[in-house]
Structure formats: C-alpha cells, structure tokens
Chains A and B, each alone.
Chain A
Amino acid sequence: MRIVVCIKQVPDSAEVRINPETNTLIRDGVPTIINPYDLHALEAGLQIRETAGGKVTVLTMGPPQAETALREAISMGADDAVLLTDRAFAGSDTWATAYTLSKAIEQIGADVILCGKQAIDGDTAQVGPEMAEFMDMPHISYIRKIVDVAADKLIVQRLMDDGYDVVETSLPVLLTVVKELNVPRLPSLKGKMAAKKAEIKKMSAADLKADEKNLGLNGSPTQVKNIFAPESKTDRTMLEGTPAEKIDTLVKELVGLKCI
C-alpha cells in the first residue's frame, strides 16, 4: 500500500491575534506546529501501514522551514518526506495548493491519501477534496473510523451532523480525518534518530512539470481583500446583587427578549 499524508506547518492559531490599529497579524513569538488534524492523518497512515504493509510518505508545500514539520513526521514513523518549495507557489489559495500537491502525488504514486479535516490557519477544509477532483479519484471527508482496509476496497465511518454514515470506496482514494479517529503516537527514539539523518526530497515547480498559470497567486481564483479584527461585544451587562436578585433580573430580561 502506498500511503501519502499531506501535512501543513501552521502558526498555533490559539496565539494569533490581530492588531486592531493596523489590522495586521501579531505574530511575535507565535510558535509553528504541525496542523493538529494532520497528526491524526499521519497516525491513520501509520496504522494502515501496520495492517496492510507498504510505505508512508509525508508531503508538504511551504517555505523551506517547513522541513522541520516533515522531520517531526519522520520521527513519528513516516518512511520518507517530500517538500514542495518554490517562489512560484507563493500566494496560493486552496485551488492552487490542491493543484500543486496533486501534481506531486501523481509523481509519488499513492493508493491512499490522507489529509486533516482542515488546517487551523485558513480553516477551509477544501484542499483535500479539491486534490481528489484534480486526481480524478473519490474522496470521503470527516473520517472518524476506518472499519476495514483491503487492497481494492476501504470501509470507513464518515461523521455527519446527526450521526455517521458507513461508506465503502474503491482505491485509490483520498480521506480527510477528524480527531476522534485516533490518538497520534509520540516520536520514538529510533524515529528521532531517523529524522536527523533523513534526506528530505525537495521539488520545485519545474520538477512537478506543473502548468505555471495554475501556480501561486496567478493560479488562485480567490484573493484576500483585507483582514480585520472580529467585533467584540460592547453591550455587555454584568448582573449585580445576591444570586437570587441576579436571577430575577436575568429572567425578566429573557422574558422581555422573548427567549422564555
């Protein structure tokens, strides 16, 4: 089984803020991490390898420092890693990102491709399904359980709003995973050694034989017009008095607002 896991290096969004005066990101000291959902995708890949045999390749598109994320993935047990890095990829939206990653996967070769549900910087959840379309293969989103893996068939549970669907698919297939799927393992000592020595394969736009007009900003149908800070509530009322008084006031307000 050839398994490719797409991982993204992201700023820890819990710590990203916007400067309300300049409307720019405050980034000082915000650490970068592997997108948390992608760790679950990697764990799923490693577990599939354990039952079905094969190889797990981790793939990322990003600036040269994204190599750190790939080494971390190797320390968890990935066999090898590919970094797509090129000035021409800058400014990619999900369309161009998915195009670029799918070009690389076509060269690497894959039976199962795993992605996180979404990346916590953009929160779009679009790159996985878009890649599947580019590679003309089925995809299933929000996988919460892998029920069965065979050479030509996979059965999974897909999380929905009101429960889950059991879905069967042919291979090759792309899956995006949610956190309930598994608990990602920690790096092993052996893995850490391997990560130090591992050679990370780097690929540029030329290596991908990609169509220039589909890359980076030029290949991106969407553009960011501006960013701004979310509104904060100014009309807050802190209720005063004894607990009973507070509740009296609250219930009166709620009745007034027709909530009760």
Chain B
Amino acid sequence: MYIKVKRELCTGCEACVQSCPYDAIVIKGAKAEITEMCQLCRACMSVCPEGAISEVKEATDEKETAQGRGVWVFAEQREGRIAGVSLELLGAGRGLAGKLGTELSAVLFGGTGHDALELIRWGADRVFHCDEASLQAFNDEPYAALLSKLITEQKPEIVLTGATPIGRSFFPRVAAKLRAGLTADCTSLEIDPETKNLLQVRPAFGGNIMATIFCPHARPQMATVRPRVMKRGTYDEARTGEIVKVSAKGIASRTKVVETVKEVSELAINLQDANIIVAGGRGMGSEKGFQLLLDLAEVLGASLAASRAAVDEGWIPYRHQVGQTGKTVSPKLYIACGISGAVQHLVGMQSSDIIIAINKNPDAPIFNVATYGIVGDANEIVPMLTKKIKEVKG
C-alpha cells in the first residue's frame, strides 16, 4: 500500500502538510507531494478538504483471514492470588463471546483446582489449567511457550490478559511467535458488527490521543487490557464448566526467579486494586503535608499515591507514584491534593470514576478532569475533610 495525491484535485492548501506527523508532505509546483518519509499513518487522508489523498492498494495487500473460534482470558495468578483484572476480563470476555456466538475459556498457570473452579463461577465455560510447580512463579519463556502451544492447538479467535507487568511482558512473546497482532493496554473492546473484527481502543502519546486498533487478517487477535476499566461479571456459585488439565512437560526456562520480595507499605497495598486513593503533589509542601493525607487515607480506608514532583522531593517513595512513569490506577474515588494535573500525571489516573481536586490555583489543569473541584489550601482543607468524614462515619 502507498499514499497518493491526485494532482488534478489538489489545490495546494497545505492542510495535509500541517497534519503529517512525519514531515512527509511537501508542496511542489503548488501541489502536495508525498515523500519517502511517509509512514502510511493516513493522518493526511482525513484532513484533505478536496478528498485528493487516497491509499493505493497493491496486490500483496490482500491476505486471507485465518480462522479461529472462542474467546480466551489468561487468568493471572501471583502467589496463589488471582489478579482482579482477570475477573474483569471474564466479565468483558463473556460479552464478546456472546456477540460472536462462541464460548469463553480461561487459562490458568499455577494456582489450585479451587482457583480454576472460581474462574468458572466468574463466567468461564472452560478452564485450561496447568498446576505444575514449574509454573507457580512467573517466568516469561515457559508461560509464553505453553500459551502459544495451547493457542496453536485450540485456535481461539481472541486472547486477552491484564496489562500488568506479567501480561505486558510475556504476551508479546506469544504474539511474536504466532504472528498475531497484539494491542497494548486497551481501555475498550468492541466487536465490529460487520466484519466481526475486534476493535481495540487504547491511549497513546501519553494519553493525549486515543487510537482504535484492529487486526484485519491475523488470528488470534490479542490484547492486554488496563486493570479496572472493565466491569466484573456476576459471580455464580452454581455455575459449572469444564476443567482441562494441561501439562508443561518439555517446557524449559532460561530464567529463574531466585526470590520474591514484597515491598509495599500497608497503605499502598496495591494501588491498582484500591477503591479509594488519596494523592498528593508538590502543593502539599512537605512531608508534614503528606502526614495529613495519610490521616485522610486512614479514615477512608484508602491507598496513598503521589505525583512525580512529590516523589522527587523525597516526601514519599517511588512505588506510590501515579502517572506515565509510575502506576496507572482507576479507583472509584481519586482525591488529588496539591497536584497541578500535568498530562503525565493525568494519564495515570484520569479513568478514575470520581475525581476530587483540591488546588489553590483555580486554573490548574487538574480541574479539567475533576468531578468535584475545591479551590483552596490543601493543608487547610484536608484536615477539615478528615474530621468531617470521621463525624459522618461516627
């Protein structure tokens, strides 16, 4: 495929030149011309007021779509605990399977028979379970090798996992091996009613833009999905399904986990799983300011988070950092205190259900994403809020 300008239609208006992210369009003789810098992103096609830019398909572009049936969710387990996002994906997976008229399966490496049963109660029709000791701890190679083998045998059309450190690390290996398309960190999944392709929406450029990605030909269609954006399905104790035992025989690993170290203070148990998060930025002024946040977090049963500026000041350790270079969270309630709302911070928290912003600058960008805004001094407001909530809770 390549992009072409129809010279007879081009008026030389330069709209396309402005739109090209790669500097690949020049004006020559009052007409636009696509240079070899073109990366085929198609940005220019939609801006041209004359409709003069189009893509030209070549013979090699036509490919057959591989077949497949079934929606799969890889259920992540760490030290015997199933990740919350895996249950959310069973909820989302049910919906997709329904639209495709197909079944929903879960894949579990490590964990117990009870865990496999729980996955059925959360919505799976079938669980492929390998309970061998070699797969209890996460290593990329054996996880990728066994999942690839299962996919090759069973040919599902969609395979999903959480966009966690584990999912984002080993799914790419599976996609590479199977020549499958993989979309990272999706925030929404839909089935295209016409083509039945999976439409995957994800943020890019640090959350400044959203993109819809699809795989027109390759199967399976694979995606990692951001935790806490999909809703869990309903838990049904009476649900039954099939558990298929899977063997890891002959699957080796060149990496070995020597030790697993927990490094979380009690209040930040798992930011990604927290229901309520109290977050502070440079505006808290000092470590003392963070003590006020801790008090608020305590009455709310919340986890504590911070902007990079506060981490850089040394008021709180890095593991509490939310944003582009920290964690991505989407709790029910996010209380941002003394945080300006730089885009690198917003990308890590803007999908929270309710956002409260407390900032003394009424023009702070954090107010653009806030559900409730309070203009004021956080060092004054926060203790008052703590006190009030204590009263209400009795």
Q: Which of A's residues lie within 8 Å of B, judged by CB?
A: 11, 13-14, 16-18, 22-25, 27-28, 36, 63-64, 87, 90-91, 93-95, 98-99, 120-134, 137-142, 155, 158-170, 173, 179-180, 213, 216-218, 220-230, 232-233, 235-239, 243-244, 246-248, 250-251, 253-255, 257, 259-260
Contact with A along B124-149 (1 / 0, CB 8 A): 00000000000001111100100000
Min C-beta distance of A179 to chain B, whole Å = 6
Complex partner residue of A236 from B213, B344, B371, CB under 8 angstroms: B371
Q: How far is the CA of A17 from the CA of B21 in the complex (A)?
A: 11
Q: Which of B's residues lie within 8 Å of A, judged by CB?
A: 1, 18-22, 36-44, 46-47, 60-61, 78, 137-141, 144, 164-166, 168-173, 175-177, 179-185, 199, 203-218, 253-264, 269-270, 272, 276, 300, 318, 324-325, 327, 332-333, 342-344, 350, 354-356, 367-376, 380-381, 384-385, 388-389, 392-393
- Residue picked from B60, B61, B206, B375, most chain A C-beta under 10 Å: B206
Subset of 30 A-B contacts with CB under 8 Å: A13-B206, A14-B344, A22-B47, A63-B37, A94-B182, A94-B184, A95-B181, A98-B172, A125-B172, A129-B172, A130-B172, A132-B173, A133-B173, A133-B176, A162-B263, A164-B263, A167-B256, A168-B258, A173-B254, A179-B325, A217-B40, A218-B61, A224-B211, A225-B214, A236-B368, A237-B373, A238-B373, A239-B373, A244-B384, A259-B332
Nearest B-chain residue to A252, judged by Cβ: B392
Nearest A-chain residue to B372, judged by Cβ: A237
Contact between A259 and B258, CB atoms less than 8 A apart: no
Contact between A221 and B184, CB atoms less than 8 A apart: no
Min C-beta distance of A26 to chain B, whole Å = 8
Complex partner residue of B384 from A132, A134, A158, A243, CB under 8 angstroms: A243
Q: How far is the CA of A113 from the CA of B32 in the complex (A)?
A: 41
Contact between A162 and B213, CB atoms less than 8 A apart: no
- Residue picked from B209, B215, B376, most chain A C-beta under 10 Å: B209
Complex partner residue of B211 from A130, A155, A163, A227, CB under 8 angstroms: A227
Q: How far is the CA of A27 from the CA of B60 in the complex (A)?
A: 32
- In order of increasing CB-CB distance, the 6 nearest A-B pairs are A221-B181, A221-B218, A91-B40, A163-B263, A222-B181, A133-B176
User: What are the residues of chain B within 8 A of A255 when measuring CB–CB?
Assistant: 392
Nearest A-chain residue to B355, judged by Cβ: A233
Known: A160-B165, A162-B263, A222-B183. A126 touches B206 (CB 8 A): no
Nearest A-chain residue to B206, judged by Cβ: A13
User: What are the residues of chain B within 8 A of A247 when measuring CB–CB?
Assistant: 374, 381, 384-385, 388
User: What are the residues of chain B within 8 A of A16 when measuring CB–CB?
Assistant: 205-206, 208-209
Contact between B173 and A25, CB atoms less than 8 A apart: no
Min C-beta distance of A118 to chain B, whole Å = 8
User: What are the residues of chain B within 8 A of A239 when measuring CB–CB?
Assistant: 372-374
Min C-beta distance of A109 to chain B, whole Å = 19
- Residue picked from A126, A130, A251, most chain B C-beta under 10 Å: A126
User: What are the residues of chain A within 8 A of B144 when measuring CB–CB?
Assistant: 133
Contact between A221 and B179, CB atoms less than 8 A apart: yes
Known: A14-B206, A120-B324, A139-B140. A221 touches B215 (CB 8 A): yes
Known: A161-B164, A259-B276. A223 touches B213 (CB 8 A): yes
Known: A90-B38, A223-B214, A232-B368. A11 touches B21 (CB 8 A): yes
User: What are the residues of chain A within 8 A of B43 when measuring CB–CB?
Assistant: 24-25, 227
Contact between B376 and A243, CB atoms less than 8 A apart: yes
Q: How far is the CA of A227 from the CA of B211 in the complex (A)?
A: 4
Q: How far is the CA of A227 from the CA of B92 in the complex (A)?
A: 23
Contact between A142 and B214, CB atoms less than 8 A apart: no
Min C-beta distance of A125 to chain B, whole Å = 5
Known: A163-B263, A232-B369. A180 touches B211 (CB 8 A): no
Min C-beta distance of A2 to chain B, whole Å = 18
Min C-beta distance of B237 to chain A, whole Å = 25
Nearest B-chain residue to A172, judged by Cβ: B254
User: What are the residues of chain A within 8 A of B260 when measuring CB–CB?
Assistant: 160, 163-166
Known: A16-B205, A243-B384. A166 touches B393 (CB 8 A): no
User: What are the residues of chain A within 8 A of B372 when measuring CB–CB?
Assistant: 236-239, 250, 253
Q: How far is the CA of A141 from the CA of B141 in the complex (A)?
A: 12
Q: How far is the CA of A129 from the CA of B355 in the complex (A)?
A: 35
Q: How far is the CA of A98 from the CA of B172 in the complex (A)?
A: 10
User: What are the residues of chain A within 8 A of B138 when measuring CB–CB?
Assistant: 165
Nearest B-chain residue to A37, judged by Cβ: B325
Q: How far is the CA of A125 from the CA of B182 in the complex (A)?
A: 11
Contact between B375 and A238, CB atoms less than 8 A apart: yes
Contact between A223 and B216, CB atoms less than 8 A apart: yes
Contact between B185 and A230, CB atoms less than 8 A apart: no
Contact between A141 and B209, CB atoms less than 8 A apart: no
Q: How far is the CA of A24 from the CA of B365 in the complex (A)?
A: 22
Q: How far is the CA of A239 from the CA of B376 in the complex (A)?
A: 10
User: What are the residues of chain B within 8 A of A237 when measuring CB–CB?
Assistant: 371-373
Nearest B-chain residue to A157, judged by Cβ: B261
Min C-beta distance of A153 to chain B, whole Å = 10
Min C-beta distance of A161 to chain B, whole Å = 6
Contact between B208 and A18, CB atoms less than 8 A apart: yes
Known: A161-B165, A247-B385. A18 touches B209 (CB 8 A): yes
